[in-house]
Amino acid sequence: MKPSRKIQFAALAAIVATGLAACGSGNADTATSPQDAASSPTDDISVGVAVDENARALLPQSATDKGTLTVAMELKYPPTTFLAEDGRTPIGLNPDVSRLIAKKLGLQLEIVDVGFDTIIPALQGNRYDMTASTMSATPERTAVVDMIDYLKVGSSVAVAKGNPDGYAVDNLCGKQVVVTKGSIQATKRLPELSKSQCEDQGKPAIEGIVLPSVQDAMTQLASGRVKAVYYDTPSLGWAATQQPNRFEVLSPQVNESTVAVALPKGGELTPAVQAALQSIMGSPEYEVALGRWGLDGLGITEAKLH
């Protein structure tokens, strides 16, 4: 299988304005494997968590009447968003955070598995209440949805074990780097990096290869068809942990930023979800959720609304 699309990032800059859909998220490959799922916790972290009455009081009557919080996410990205060994149970940090939000609000939770790049258009059409998908709060996204911070992450570059092609995060000029369709790395981070590190210095631009998903990217990295993948640090780190003889993640991270849940723009549910997230950040369950998915130290203290 050949890469679906190969473009220079000088050309890719033209699609930045459409970069609303993907996380830079958030993850052989990072698709859920039996080994990943079998070794992962499947319990409901929200059991025993009390309703936050102050947050619940902010719910619009329509949400109270409905009684269910419907959350969209694509369940393909360990360790933040994937399926348990049974192939049905959503697990990872994002399902955990969603369960805690729903519990704080006294609502049932419905998680819907949908394609990542369809989530923001679906929120704009009010098909779902929210998403927890490790999305960065870019200006393009915050123009069309409400976003509330809940985690800090970074982007890194993964290469084959031993880095046989000699990649370095401070010298990617003229080299091929894979990003995933619609991701923050594709729409913003790598074009900016190419410009500042290479083009502005009179060096060749970074050559971006855009693939449909991180699973495709890591599969092709494992086969040697591509040389490097630029994606969310937690997902790449998970892949390297699961298959240490195949992958490694270069140091340091390329960048660090917060990620946010997203809701329909100006929706009545936003204040309640923001209050629930703020309540979660002060709870032991937040630290437990981070720790059990290998994300220790990536918590934040303010559920900031964008």
Using N-to-C axis directions, what is the helix angle for 284-292 and 93-104, rounded to 10°? 160
133 & 40 share domain:
yes
Quick check: is 121 in a domain? yes
DSSP per position, 97-122: HHHHHHHHTT-EEEEEE--GGGHHHH
Question: In the predicted model, what is the mean pLDDT of residues 55-64?
Answer: 98
Number of domains, the chain: 2
| pLDDT at 37 (0 to 100) | 53
Q: Quick one: 160 and 202 in the same domain?
A: yes
Instruction: Tell whether 303 is covered by a domain.
Output: no
Whole domain around residue 193: which residue ranges? 5-22+154-256
CATH of the domain at 215: 3.40.190.10
Q: What pLDDT sits at residue 184?
A: 86
Q: Flag whether pLDDT at 18 surpasses 80.
A: no
Tell me, yes or no, whether 306 lies in a domain: no
One domain, residues 225 and 283? no
pLDDT in tens, 182-231: 888 999 999 999 999 999 999 999 999 999 988 899 999 999 999 999 99
Q: Mean of the per-residue pLDDT values for the chain? A: 87
Under the banding of pLDDT at 50, 70 and 90, the label for residue 77 is confident
Whether residue 27 contacts residue 235, with contact meaning beta carbons closer than 8 Å, is answered with yes
- Is 198 inside any structural domain? yes
pTM assigned to the model: 0.74
Residue 205 counted as domain residue: yes
pLDDT digits (tens, 9 = 90+) for 114-148: 998 899 999 999 999 999 999 989 899 999 999 99
pLDDT, mean of residues 146-159: 94
Question: Are 118 and 10 in the same domain?
Answer: no
Which is it for the CA torsion 131, 177, 19, 255, positive or negative? positive
Same domain, 144 and 276: yes
With a cut of 80, say whether residue 12 has pLDDT above it: no
